[in-house]
Amino acid sequence: MKPLVLASLEDRFGDRCVDILRGGAAFGWVECRRDPEDAHGWRHLHPPRLGFATEDAARDDATRTVGWLVRDGASHM
């Protein structure tokens, strides 16, 4: 089963995002990027990090791990 995207936090340039996910009873996140010249769209930079008990726990881990989330003040999509 593919995880459901609950929120997408995009950087100020619009070429990176962190998706907050829910897969069954667990939450997680994945960092993605897109290249304007590539019609594919968003690509995962690594496998999703799942297994968090709450959405807040997944967001906290993403914030600690992905430096630009704090630095750029990511916007909610």
pLDDT band of 46, cuts 50, 70, 90: very high
Question: 2-6, 23-27, 35-39, 60-64: lowest mean pLDDT where?
Answer: 35-39
Q: Which has more confidence, 27 or 71?
A: 27
Query: What is the domain partition of the chain in residue ranges?
Result: 4-76
pLDDT digits (tens, 9 = 90+) for 50-62: 999 999 999 999 9
- Written as one letter, the residue type at 42 is W
CA distance 74 to 11: 5
Could you please report the per-residue DSSP string of 35-67? -TT-TT--EESS--EEEESSHHHHHHHHHHH-H
- Cα–Cα nearest to 33, from 58, 73, 66: 66
Instruction: Tell me the whole-structure pTM to 2 decimals.
Output: 0.84
Residue 69 is predicted with a pLDDT of: 86
Neighbours of 27 (CB within 10 A): 24
Question: For 2-6, what is the mean pLDDT?
Answer: 91
